Amino acid sequence: MTNEDVLATRLSNFTKLSDEECQALRMLARDRVRRVGARVDLVREGERPRSVFLILSGWAYRYKTMEDGRRQIVSFLLPGDLCDLNNFVLAEMDHTISALTALHFVELPHERVAQICEEFPRIARALWWHMLSAISTQRQWTVSLSRSAHERIGHLFCELFLRLQTVGLTRGNMCDLPPTQTELAEATGLTPVHVNRTLQEMRAEGLIVLKDRILEIPDLARLQHAVLFTPNYLHLGQAEAGTSVEKDVAPAVEI
């Protein structure tokens, strides 16, 4: 099901948007809707994408391949996510974006985005937030370098659940979780076997229920606590909070 409201919904998590702005975003999502099946590449390493992708439905992911064949998924792209907003300069991709499930998306020329930003400054701001949150998320993933298997997986689940929630894709404490255990392994830097065993332990502890690609988190707070998850990096609902926070810092010497 294609939802042309996803982007507006997603961006509303950063700033309140007017009806007019939402309408403009809705128009974007009608541009040139495309559909691809699972496992299809959207952009490949070495290419210079000439546009921004907006995901309307389905999951995608970015991954890097090493010479010896190992693959590392470096991020998941969910409905409402924009890819390579930053790539105005048409840089060469250093990784591949690929569909995890069947996918609906729109390919937006950069000018189209620029034009909307000019007309609606608040959308421009929201897009900055969007980008910021993507970068923060990337940083969080690197923190997993010092996390245990439990923490890596649990953390990922918390993140995905919350991100899906912001676009209305959770039902109570449940959500879809399309990636296979092998893909979870590629995302966390673990072995499929070990992911499997870790999942079983987490199930045994009652932290998660995961079956048939459906994830249920009986007690989100407990899971978050168990895996040391703090959601601040998603930067949800901070935009309103004003800008006047003053603390003493860096007793620097003026030169």
Binding site for DNA (CB under 7 A): 148-150, 180-182, 189-194, 196-200
Backbone phi and psi for residue 38, each to the nearest 5 degrees, phi listed first: -60, 155
DSSP readout, 35-48? EE-TT-EEE-TT--
User: Cβ atoms within 10 A of the Cβ of 246, count?
Assistant: 5
Q: Kindly state whether residue 64 participates in binding its own copies, applying the rule CB under 8 A.
A: yes
Q: Which stretch binds its own copies (CB under 8 A): 156-164, 185-193, 202-210, 214-222?
A: 185-193
Smallest distance from DNA to CB 141, Å: 16
Q: Kindly state whether residue 222 participates in binding its own copies, applying the rule CB under 8 A.
A: no
Q: Within 186-205, which residues bind its own copies (CB under 8 A)? A: 186, 188-189
Nearer to its own copies, 204 or 250 (CB): 250
Distance linking the first and last C-alpha atoms of the chain: 60
Site string for its own copies, 111-150 (x = CB under 8 A): --------------x--xx-xx--xx-xxxxxxxxx----
Smallest distance from DNA to CB 26, Å: 33
Alpha carbons 155 and 185: distance in angstroms, whole number:
13
Contact partner at residue 155 from its own copies, DNA, none, CB < 5 to 8 Å by partner kind: none
Task: Produce one character per residue of 30-52: b if its CB has 16 or more CB atoms within 10 Å, e if not.
Answer: eeeeeebeeeeebbeeeeebebb
Alpha carbons 215 and 213: distance in angstroms, whole number:
6
Q: If you compute the radius of gyration of the chain from its CA atoms, what whole number of angstroms results? A: 19
Give the contacts of 235 (CB within 8 A, at least 6 positions apart): 14, 129, 132, 133, 136
Q: Which stretch binds its own copies (CB under 8 A): 16-24, 72-80, 162-170, 209-217?
A: 72-80
Site string for its own copies, 89-118 (x = CB under 8 A): xxxx-xx--------x--------------
Smallest distance from its own copies to CB 204, Å: 23
Contact partner at residue 128 from its own copies, DNA, none, CB < 5 to 8 Å by partner kind: its own copies
Contact partner at residue 88 from its own copies, DNA, none, CB < 5 to 8 Å by partner kind: its own copies
Contact 55, 77 (CB under 8 A): yes
Contact partner at residue 74 from DNA, its own copies, none, CB < 5 to 8 Å by partner kind: its own copies
Q: Which stretch binds its own copies (CB under 8 A): 5-13, 176-184, 198-206, 246-254?
A: 246-254
Beta bridge pairs of residue 22: none
**Phi/psi-derived region of residue 93, left when phi > 0, alpha when psi is between -120 and 50, beta in every other case:** beta
